[in-house]
Structure 1
Amino acid sequence: MIAHLRGRLFSKQPGQAIVEAAGVGYDVTISVPTFTSLPAEGTEVSLHIHTQVREDLIALFGFFDLREKRLFERLITVSGVGPKLAVTILSGLDPDRMIAAIRAQDHATLTRIPGVGKKLAERLSLELRDKMEDMATAPAAAVVSAGPAADDVLSALTNLGYQRPAALKAIETVVEKDKALGEDFDQLFRAALKVIR
């Protein structure tokens, strides 16, 4: 089973990336958040992979963020949710909002995702509500502990298109090395940009 893939990003488009590793081009289905996180074509990329094997097909589903892969693997345990629909669901709502909606049984938010009707929203909440505890985050606390500039830097990075979990991790990483960075927006922003993935 392929669980991880590192190589040159041969090409990318919404929904698909081709990663060349050891002379082989792997066709990987990706979500919109993963697409927006990918580097430029021709550069090295690293993806977490879920491999689906059927009689007539071997399909690779790739995720820039490990948390997104874990969420995908929980979504496909729900009856009626195949890998393609799971990718659509991940593309329609960011992981934090989706986890919150499932845990709160917020069917109205879930039905805004293309392909998710009322019955499927109810099934997602019913089958996954208790399986989301370990995936829920407390982003506000993490940002507050990083210093007064952290909230503005997080907002700036997400406005630039970076995923919130990746932006949070970058901020925490640089503040861990130098606490003073949390006091200054410009310095923290530049430092976070250097380490964000």
Structure 2
Amino acid sequence: MIGRLRGILVEKQPGDALIEAGGVGYEVDIPYTTFFRLPELGQEAVLYTHLAVREDAQQLYGFAAKSERELFRLLIRTSGVGPKLALAILSGLEADAFIRVVEDNDAAALVKIPGVGKKTAERLLIEIRDRVRKLDKAPATSGREEAVSELPGISAVESTPLEEAEAALIALGYRPQEAGRALNAVAEEGMASQQLIRLALRNMLNR
């Protein structure tokens, strides 16, 4: 089992990263919360990892914090939740925020995350409540919105801040029309993509 990966960040984009360690390039699927914390390309990155082995593939998942990896493992043990949906949940909520949602029995907050329906949210709250209490609380570091503000750049391809922000929200799972409406509601001249994403996410998650 590969439990921790330390190496040079070669590539990164919303949802995945390529890290070279010991001459080997590891492709890692990551949630947005981890993507926002990655360093610049060419710098050293450290991820806590989970290796999923199937008959047809081996997939490596990476997380900036150990608490995120442990929560990911709890999520994929829940009925009806696979790795893709677990990453979407962790992309929508920091680990400590997710724990608060579970403790508050807040199904409405989970339903706002793309891919999480009402039944899935209710099942999650029931099945994971006791398990999540055993997790160490995630450190009170920057939350998702603050992490977005530190993001140095979403894409190496030249595009407008609005286009970058829309692409990031679509990659997260929001429908193009929904992403467009959320961005148009907050966009002002001169805004950077990081600020647009932060405000749009706040707008959608707090509705």
Say yes or no: TM over 0.5: yes
Q: Which residue of 2 aligns with 1:100?
A: 100
Distance 1:102-1:64 versus aligned 2 partners, 3 A rule: same
1:108-137 alpha-carbon deviations (Å, 9 max, x no partner): 111011100000001100000111113364
Q: Which residue of 2 aligns with 1:158?
A: 146
Between the aligned partners of 2:136 and 2:146, the Cα distance in structure 1 is 19
Higher relative contact order (CA 8 A, sep 6+): 2
Q: Check whether the contact 1:9–1:17 (CA below 8 A) recurs between aligned residues.
A: yes
Secondary structure at the residue paired with 1:81? Answer: coil
Q: Which amino acid aligns with 2:77?
A: T
Between the aligned partners of 1:134 and 1:96, the Cα distance in structure 2 is 13
Q: Does 1:8 align with 2:5?
A: no
Gaps of 5+ in 2: 151-207
1:33-87 alpha-carbon deviations (Å, 9 max, x no partner): 1000000011111110000000010000000111111110100010111111100
Secondary structure at the residue paired with 1:127? Answer: helix
Distance 1:35-1:93 versus aligned 2 partners, 3 A rule: same
Between the aligned partners of 1:129 and 1:4, the Cα distance in structure 2 is 27
**1:102 CA drift (Å):** 1.4
Q: Which residue of 2 aligns with 1:35?
A: 35
Q: Which amino acid aligns with 2:82?
A: G
**1:160 CA drift (Å):** 6.9
% of aligned pairs identical? 50
Q: Check whether the contact 2:36–2:147 (CA below 8 A) recurs between aligned residues.
A: no
TM-score (norm 1): 0.70
Mapping of residues 1-197 of structure 1, within 5 Å: 1-135=1-135, 137=137, 158=146, 161=149
Gaps of 5+ in 1: 143-152, 163-197
Between the aligned partners of 2:38 and 2:147, the Cα distance in structure 1 is 16
- What do you get for the CA RMSD once the two structures are aligned? 2.3
TM-score (norm 2): 0.66
Distance 1:66-1:138 versus aligned 2 partners, 3 A rule: closer
1:19-38 alpha-carbon deviations (Å, 9 max, x no partner): 01111111000000100000
Q: Check whether the contact 1:7–1:45 (CA below 8 A) recurs between aligned residues.
A: yes
Q: Which runs of 4+ in 1 moved over 2 A?
A: 134-139, 157-162
Q: Check whether the contact 2:31–2:63 (CA below 8 A) recurs between aligned residues.
A: yes
Q: Check whether the contact 1:38–1:45 (CA below 8 A) recurs between aligned residues.
A: yes
**1:154 CA drift (Å):** 7.0
Aligned residues between the structures: 149
Q: Check whether the contact 1:103–1:130 (CA below 8 A) recurs between aligned residues.
A: no
* Higher helix fraction (1 or 2): 1
Between the aligned partners of 2:137 and 2:124, the Cα distance in structure 1 is 19
Distance 1:136-1:154 versus aligned 2 partners, 3 A rule: same
Larger Rg belongs to: 1
